[in-house]
Amino acid sequence: MAPGVSSIGISPYFSQLFQPFSAFKSKCSRSPAVLARISNNGSQPSSNGQPSPTLTQKFPGKPEADVVVIGSGIGGLCCGALLARYNQDVLVLESHDMPGGAAHAFEIKDYKFDSGPSLFSGFQSRGPQANPLAQVLDALGESLPCATYDSWMVYIPEGEFLSRIGPTDFFKDLQTYAGPDAVREWRKLLDAILPLSAAAMALPPLSIRGDWGVLSTAGARYAPSLLKSFAQMGPQGALGATKLLRPFSHIIDSLELKDPFIRNWLDLLAFLLAGVKSDGILSAEMIYMFSEWYKPGCCLEYPLHGSGAIVDALVRGLKKFNGRLSLRSHVENIIVEDGRAIGVKLRGGQFVRAKKAVVTNASMWDTLSLLPKEVIPKPYEDRIKMTPQCDSFMHLHLGFDAEGIREDLGIHHIVVNNWERGVDADQNAVLISVPSVLSPDLAPPGKHVLHAYMPGTEPFEIWEGLDRRSNEYKELKAQRSEVMWKAVERALGPGFDRDKCEVKLVGTPLTHQRFLRRSRGTYGPAIKAGKGSFPGHSTPIPQLFCCGDSTFPGIGVPAVAASGAIVANSLVSVSQHSELLDAVGI
Rounded Cα–Cα distance for residues 279 and 277 (Å) = 5
Which among 176, 181, 195, 152 has a CA at the least distance from the CA of 263? 181
Strands (E), 89-243: 90-93, 105-108, 111-114, 146-149, 151-156, 159-164
Tell the burial category of 205 from Cβ atoms under 10 Å away from its Cβ (0-12, 13-18, 19+). buried
**Cα 419 → chain centroid:** 25
Rounded Cα–Cα distance for residues 120 and 122 (Å) = 7
Contacts of 44 (CB under 8 A, 6+ apart): 36, 37, 38, 51, 52, 54, 95, 96, 97, 328, 330
Within 10 Å of residue 109's Cβ, how many Cβ atoms?
A: 10
Is residue 49 within 8 A of residue 98, CB to CB? The reply is: no
Rounded Cα–Cα distance for residues 48 and 362 (Å) = 26
Please list the alpha-helical segments (H only) found in 417-545: 471-492, 509-515
Rounded Cα–Cα distance for residues 10 and 555 (Å) = 10
Match domain 64-103+120-143+303-387+529-584 to its CATH number in 3.20.20.70, 3.50.50.60, 2.30.42.10, 3.90.650.10: 3.50.50.60
Sorted by where each begins, the domain ranges of the chain are 64-103+120-143+303-387+529-584, 166-294, 395-521
Per-residue burial over 132-153, b = 16 or more CB atoms within 10 Å of its CB, e = otherwise = bbbbbbbbbebebebeebebbb
Query: Mind listing the pLDDT tens digit of every residue in the chain (586 residues)?
Result: 443 333 333 334 444 443 433 333 333 333 222 332 222 223 333 333 333 333 445 667 789 999 999 999 999 999 999 999 999 999 999 999 899 998 989 999 999 999 888 888 888 777 777 788 999 999 999 999 999 999 899 999 988 989 888 777 788 888 888 899 999 999 999 888 877 776 666 678 788 888 888 888 887 887 776 666 656 666 555 555 567 778 999 999 999 999 999 999 999 988 887 778 899 888 888 888 887 787 777 889 999 999 999 999 999 999 999 999 999 999 999 999 999 999 999 998 999 999 999 999 999 999 999 999 999 999 999 999 999 888 899 999 999 999 999 888 999 999 999 999 999 999 999 999 999 999 999 999 999 999 999 988 999 999 999 999 999 999 999 999 999 999 999 999 999 999 999 999 999 999 988 888 888 988 888 888 777 788 889 999 999 999 999 988 888 888 899 999 999 999 999 999 999 998 888 8
Contacts of 268 (CB under 8 A, 6+ apart): 414, 416, 423, 429
Handedness of CA 439, 440, 444, 446 (dihedral sign): positive
Rounded Cα–Cα distance for residues 276 and 372 (Å) = 34
Please list the alpha-helical segments (H only) found in 277-340: 283-293, 308-320
Phi, psi of 505 (to 5 degrees): -130, 130
Helix (H) or strand (E) holding 443: none
